[in-house]
Structure 1
Amino acid sequence: MSPESPVVELVGAGFAYEDGPPVLDGVSFAVPRGRAMALLGRNGSGKTTLLRLLSGGLRVGRGRLLLDGEQVSYDRKGLTRLRTTVQLVVQDPDDQLFAASVEQDVSFGPMNLGLPREEVRARVAEALEALDIVALADRPTHLLSYGQRKRAAIAGAVAMRPRVLIMDEPTAGLDPHGQERLLEALARLRAAGTTVVMATHDVDLALRWADDAAVLSPQGLRTGPIAELLADDALLDAARLRRPWGMAVAAVLRAQGLLDEGAAGPRTPEELDAWVAAR
């Protein structure tokens, strides 16, 4: 398997819920290894459905789901192989956390794999460290703050040592400090080799964080470099997304002759302050 080939991929995938119209129809979507990808689209565009198809939580109605280029079978063996490679973290951590303590919750997945106790302990310690919640190991899950519950839910997925981590609106409900801590944790996971896919409504976060974007609109799915797609006003209008703050600022700076054409502009207010101070 070449480094450029996708880890997981939907090919011509379609899906409809019972007695409903198609949510996705003929969608092809590849998750490139080693990249950070933002999945963007309006409410009801099918983002959550797409994530669940990628992780095996839903079965494609038509088309194929591929893992390392091989079609996934939906039997026990095939789904175990998929779920040890691809892990989904849902939007509401309370839908994912169920054990009495953080450590017990994080250990559940590795224990279900039948791993030796020492291996389970090592994975739990690694996941707690990656999400910066070692001090919360013995804390009852119902006593955690919302941001702590978010990170505990992600730690449970990380303990499975997936090659692809998929998250549905992971920053929703977090204050700015909580968002920063989560992004720091994701940076550590990426540095360790994890491919990350994040569904989000926050175009500013997507531009700042992601390498690539996948945008769902009524015209279908488009993928490509994040800066290229979020500069396409027609695509943003179709997907009911606004232009990112950083791109609007860069356009003003270029119009005033303060930023060279093609040069990357500041993506956050903090980067703008630094840019001004450096001039």
Structure 2
Amino acid sequence: MSGSGSAVVELVGAGYAYEDGPAVLSGVDFAVPEGRSLALLGRNGSGKTTLLRLLSGGLRCASGRLRVAGEDVTYDRKGLTRLRTTVQLVVQDPDDQLFAASVGQDVSFGPMNLGLPEAEVRARVREALEALDITALEDRPTHLLSYGQRKRAAIAGAVAMRPRVLILDEPTAGLDPHGQERLLEVLDRLRGSGTTVLMATHDVDLALRWADDAAVLTPGGLRTGPVDRVLADDALLDAARLRQPWAMAVARLLRSRGLLEPDEAGPRTPEELDAWAAVAREV
């Protein structure tokens, strides 16, 4: 994996199979480098969620090992506490994660389980609610939240643990376009504050727009690299049953018409295309 930082968490030769089933993952080497935003892509059933649960300790490797900051994870109380203060997973459906009566109570659960002083717990809750822009919802019953609010509340619970790596499983699923934009703004703020973010998605356009690096799961294994290079590989996308990103198709068209230089970055969203076209008309 390319990247400016060393691996915070990594799987080495990892394999996993559910009971009485074939191997979902086999011999996977996968590192999450610090300071990079990473999109994990693959078709439904490719093993994305299994890989995320292995990284976060929700599942234990049947073969291979999980490492944090270069050291093998031990699955005793001490080892799992170290892992969960380094890596936090937010599942796709927030209703599978939220369980307390109010938002504030839910967000405080993780820090309280660490045995932190009450003042520290309150500080972490306040910090997480501010980061997710849901401070006004602290006393709101979780069952009265909108779907987008529940998504952000679930993420706040993970952020309150102050992890070095935040893992999100299909975080934009079920959100309308406005909700997606608000969530991406939140993720940008978290990245700006030093949190490494790993997002599993099958949305290639979102990955190209948002991530520094991409990892693509195919039946033949895992391929990683800079997002623009990985998602330009048509054979890889075919193997993963992913479509070509819209922005890649637009850039190829513009280059074929001599409207974009070979090494010039093209527009990555319809809004950027409109802005680019406006400038081109003026020229």
Fold conserved between structures, TM > 0.5? yes
Give the TM-score of the pair, scaled to structure 1.
Answer: 0.98
What's the counterpart of residue 181 of structure 1?
182
Q: Which amino acid aligns with 1:262?
A: D
What's the counterpart of residue 236 of structure 1?
237
Deviations 1:120-152 (A, max 9, x none): 011000000000101111110000000000000
**2: CA distance between counterparts of 1:244 and 1:235?**
13
Give the TM-score of the pair, scaled to structure 2.
Answer: 0.97
Deviations 1:168-218 (A, max 9, x none): 000000000000000000001000000000000111000000000000001
What's the counterpart of residue 214 of structure 1?
215
Q: Which amino acid aligns with 2:102?
A: S
Unpaired segments of 5 or more residues in structure 2?
none
What's the counterpart of residue 128 of structure 1?
129
**2: CA distance between counterparts of 1:277 and 1:98?**
49
**2: CA distance between counterparts of 1:208 and 1:4?**
21
What's the counterpart of residue 261 of structure 1?
262
3-state SS of 1:160 partner: coil
**2: CA distance between counterparts of 1:123 and 1:273?**
41
**1: CA distance between counterparts of 2:122 and 2:247?**
43
3-state SS of 1:11 partner: strand
Runs of 4+ aligned residues of structure 1 deviating over 3 Å after TM superposition are none
What's the counterpart of residue 53 of structure 2?
52
Unpaired segments of 5 or more residues in structure 1?
none
Instruction: Report % sequence identity.
Output: 82
Matched ranges for 1:66-215 at <5 A: 66-215=67-216
3-state SS of 2:9 partner: strand
Deviation at 1:278, TM superposition (A): 1.7
3-state SS of 2:123 partner: helix
**1: CA distance between counterparts of 2:17 and 2:76?**
21
CA contact (8 A) 2:68 2:83 kept: yes
* 1:43 lines up with 2:44 in the alignment: yes
**2: CA distance between counterparts of 1:79 and 1:150?**
25
3-state SS of 2:167 partner: strand
**2: CA distance between counterparts of 1:262 and 1:146?**
41
Number of positions where the alignment pairs a residue of Structure 1 with one of Structure 2: 277
3-state SS of 1:10 partner: strand
Deviation at 1:277, TM superposition (A): 1.4
**2: CA distance between counterparts of 1:187 and 1:254?**
30
Q: Which amino acid aligns with 2:78?
A: K
What's the counterpart of residue 26 of structure 1?
27
Deviation at 1:260, TM superposition (A): 0.2
Deviation at 1:5, TM superposition (A): 1.5
3-state SS of 2:92 partner: coil
Q: Which amino acid aligns with 1:271?
A: E
Computed over aligned residues only, the root mean square deviation of the Cα atoms, in angstroms, reads: 0.6
**2: CA distance between counterparts of 1:5 and 1:170?**
25
Q: Which amino acid aligns with 1:146?
A: Y
CA contact (8 A) 2:5 2:35 kept: no
What's the counterpart of residue 62 of structure 1?
63
Deviation at 1:4, TM superposition (A): 2.7
CA contact (8 A) 2:5 2:36 kept: no
